[in-house]
């Protein structure tokens, strides 16, 4: 079902049908709940790492070989089975909340089936989505896998053995991709080689030594010694050889066969593949060409507002000269990494005191600010968020990148914090996970257009919150918004219009105040994960459109706090479903 047809159905489901009453409604609701819960349970067993990140420890001794034919076949069969089950239920006979569940679940399975027709598994690793980096984070002791009991430590030893299988499978898949012409751009895989090389350390200096350096105090001395020996042995006999094998294969065999081009259009079936990704990422029927034009218009509009700020601070010259000034003026930058981290921690305390003015719902989950780990900081974004667990055992974390402080201006800090932390990702994701009446696939799922669209929208409400009192911080917000508009242009340029990496960098430098390190990492991110960067601006534009619509319709009765609750209270909806829901709310008011 396309997003347009889904939207039409949703409008009927949400607005027009009276809820089914009585025993039939309860029976259908129970049947639907059973289906979606059984699917979620089966998917956790197939994807044990996801269970770990949700705080479910039942499969902590496993790491799925998700790149292998057996696992991919099992996932496809699961989707087919449950799609048939959900299609047997008439959504017209469901109540409002169950209609949402039915529509989201069906769309998710249809999208999974459509994406599965493309050979994504042959592009098994890149510098941005790297199972090797993710496993290093997991094994560091600072990620989702717990290291509290002896069982936790033994579980991860089992996962180390599974990692060897997964790494060998990645090499096998990459070889098949080489034969079929489905290969990664060389520039990305050169980054991967560097990342893998940085992990090759003697055990006491390895990231995997972290849990051994922090063994629980209640373990006996004999057990502590035994675990230390077991981990050192597993590193030297299993993990280190696997990391070296993967690194050497990519360096010696894959790089010579990697492609010089960077866009999806140069892959077999790449144009259709990209167009499919665009539809699924944005949850719209917008084409790459339409999104490219939207991006160009948004860039021009935001730049005009930037010129107004430039006049406000008394800068005489062209916008490009103002960009240069912002990038080179030393007063805009910290001297030490810890200053950046402390700046964000102070901001966290300040913002949390402001949000009640615009919000009436607040997450229970705790929140922390941390620096990006050294082994991935060179290719990581300026900021990122990792969600916590609903039970509070693991807090949500905002990772700030302290690498190359000359590309981390202070004037971008407020907008970045609003986006990644409060009230952006931390609020939206935590609140969604805490909606205990929703089925788990909705509490712990979502789509990029909603998640990133919400986060970008929260940047735009900084002045309403009481931030951006410094015009340079407001310019930072505009620059961040401009960056998301630039993404519409360059992502579609890369993958649908034949742009090169150099074309992208040139456009970025000409149209934004980005530093070189950030521009390079972002450009290579768009190359690595096509269409993902489109979600931000497309989602934000839809949420802003819905707010404007509600304000115009409700006038003095409009309450922004209630609007924000309406947007967030049902979790991350496809944009078509969100629009139908907000229209129904406006009508009910």
pLDDT tens for the chain, 589 residues long, are: 444 444 444 443 444 434 445 666 788 999 999 999 999 999 999 999 999 998 899 999 999 999 999 999 999 999 999 999 999 999 999 998 999 999 999 999 999 999 999 999 999 999 999 999 999 999 999 899 999 999 999 999 999 999 999 999 999 999 999 999 999 999 999 999 999 999 999 999 999 999 999 999 999 999 999 999 999 999 999 999 999 999 999 999 999 999 999 999 999 999 999 999 999 999 999 999 999 999 999 999 999 999 999 999 999 999 999 999 998 999 999 999 999 999 999 999 999 999 999 999 999 999 999 999 887 887 678 899 999 988 888 899 999 999 999 889 999 999 999 999 999 999 999 999 999 999 999 999 999 999 999 999 999 999 999 999 999 999 999 999 999 999 999 999 999 999 999 999 999 998 987 778 778 989 999 999 999 999 999 999 999 999 999 999 999 999 999 999 999 999 999 999 999 999 999 999 8
Listed residue (118, 67, 91, 123) closest to 11, CA to CA: 91
Q: Is residue 39 part of a domain?
A: no
Residue 294: inside a domain: yes
Radius of gyration of the chain (CA): 24
Same domain, 228 and 318: no
Q: Do 147 and 248 fall within a single domain? A: yes
471-496 and 413-420 helices cross at what angle (nearest 10)? Answer: 60
For residue 298, is it within any domain?
A: yes
- Asked if 282 and 259 sit in the same domain, the reply is no
231 and 287 belong to one structural domain: no
Claim to verify: residue 192 and residue 294 sit in the same structural domain? no
**Hey, what are 454's tokens?**
């919400």
Residue 290's domain comprises 276-538
Residue 324 counted as domain residue: yes
| Shared-domain flag, residues 248 and 283 | no
One domain, residues 230 and 356: no
**Cα–Cα distance for residue pair 406/391, rounded to 1 Å:** 38
Same-domain pairing of 247 and 156: yes
Q: 185 phi and psi, to 5 degrees? A: -65, 145
Q: What are phi and psi of 399, to 5 degrees?
A: -95, 120
Q: Are 393 and 143 in contact (CB under 8 A)?
A: no
> Is residue 174 domain-resident?
yes
Cis amide leading into 249 (omega within 30) = no
Task: Give the β-pairing of 367-371 and 396-400.
Answer: parallel
Cβ count within 10 A of residue 266: 16
Cα–Cα distance between 350 and 464 in angstroms, integer? 14
Q: Say if residues 19 and 25 touch (Cβ distance below 8 Å).
A: yes
Residue 23 in domain: no
Backbone angles phi, psi at 317, to 5 degrees: 145, -170
How many Å from the N-terminal Cα to the C-terminal Cα in the chain? 30
Q: How many domains does the chain have?
A: 2
Say whether both 520 and 406 belong to one domain: yes
Q: Would residue 287 count as lying in a domain? A: yes
**CB burial of residue 290 (10 Å; 0-12, 13-18, 19+):** middle
- Of 236, 266, 296, the last residue of a domain is 266
Nearest to residue 453, comparing CAs of 540, 579, 341, 582?
Answer: 540
Residues 185 and 286 in one domain: no
């Amino acid at each position: 079902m396309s997003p347009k047809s889904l939207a039409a159905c949703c409008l009927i489901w949400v607005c027009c049908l009276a809820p089914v009453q009585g025993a039939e409604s309860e029976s259908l609701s129970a049947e639907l709940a059973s289906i979606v819960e059984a699917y979620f349970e089966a998917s956790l067993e197939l994807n044990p790492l996801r269970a770990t990140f949700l705080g479910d420890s039942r499969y902590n001794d496993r790491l799925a070989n998700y790149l292998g034919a057996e696992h991919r076949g099992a996932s496809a069969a699961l989707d087919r089975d449950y799609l048939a089950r959900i299609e047997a239920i008439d959504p017209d006979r469901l109540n409002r909340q169950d209609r949402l569940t039915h529509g989201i679940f069906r769309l998710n399975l249809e999208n999974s089936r459509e994406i599965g027709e493309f050979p994504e598994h042959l592009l098994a690793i890149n510098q941005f989505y790297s199972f090797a980096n993710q496993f290093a984070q997991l094994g560091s002791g600072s990620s989702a896998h717990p290291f509290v009991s002896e069982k936790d430590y033994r579980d991860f030893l089992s996962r180390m053995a599974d990692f060897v299988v997964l790494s060998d499978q990645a090499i096998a898949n990459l070889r098949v991709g080489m034969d079929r012409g489905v290969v990664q751009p060389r520039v990305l895989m050169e980054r991967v080689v560097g990342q893998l090389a940085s992990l090759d350390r003697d055990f006491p200096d390895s990231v995997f030594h972290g849990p051994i350096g922090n063994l629980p105090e209640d373990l006996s001395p004999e057990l502590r010694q035994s675990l230390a020996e077991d981990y050192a042995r597993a590193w030297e006999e299993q993990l280190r050889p696997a990391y070296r094998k993967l690194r050497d294969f990519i360096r010696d065999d894959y790089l010579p066969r990697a492609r010089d081009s960077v866009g999806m259009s140069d892959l077999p079936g790449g144009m259709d593949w990209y167009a499919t990704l665009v539809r699924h990422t944005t949850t719209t029927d917008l084409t790459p060409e339409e999104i490219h034009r939207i991006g160009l218009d948004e860039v021009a509009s935001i730049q005009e507002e930037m010129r107004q700020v430039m006049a406000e601070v008394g800068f005489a010259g062209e916008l490009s000269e103002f960009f240069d000034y912002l990038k080179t003026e030393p007063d805009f930058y910290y001297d030490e990494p810890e200053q950046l981290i402390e700046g964000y921690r102070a901001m966290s305390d300040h913002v949390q005191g402001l949000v009640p003015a615009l919000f009436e719902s607040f997450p229970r989950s705790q929140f922390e600010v941390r620096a990006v780990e050294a082994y991935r900081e060179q290719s990581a974004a300026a900021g990122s968020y990792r969600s916590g667990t609903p039970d509070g055992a693991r807090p949500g974390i905002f990772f700030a990148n302290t690498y190359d402080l000359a590309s981390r201006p202070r004037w971008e800090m407020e907008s970045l914090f609003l986006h990644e932390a409060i009230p952006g990702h931390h609020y939206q994701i935590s609140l969604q996970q805490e909606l205990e009446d929703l089925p788990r696939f909705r509490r712990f799922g979502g789509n990029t257009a909603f998640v990133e669209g919400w986060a970008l929208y929260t940047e735009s409400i900084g002045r309403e919150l009481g931030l951006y009192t410094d015009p340079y911080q407001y310019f930072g917000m505009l620059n961040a918004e401009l960056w998301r508009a630039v993404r519409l242009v360059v992502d579609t340029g890369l993958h649908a219009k034949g742009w090169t990496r150099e074309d992208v960098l040139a456009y970025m430098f000409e149209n934004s105040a980005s530093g070189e390190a950030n521009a390079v990492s972002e450009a290579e991110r768009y190359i690595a994960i096509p269409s993902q960067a489109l979600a931000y601006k497309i989602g934000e534009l839809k949420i802003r459109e819905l707010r404007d619509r509600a304000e115009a319709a409700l006038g003095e009765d409009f309450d922004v706090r209630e609007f924000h609750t309406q947007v967030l209270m049902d979790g991350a909806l496809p944009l078509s479903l969100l629009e139908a829901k907000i229209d129904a709310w406006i009508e009910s008011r």
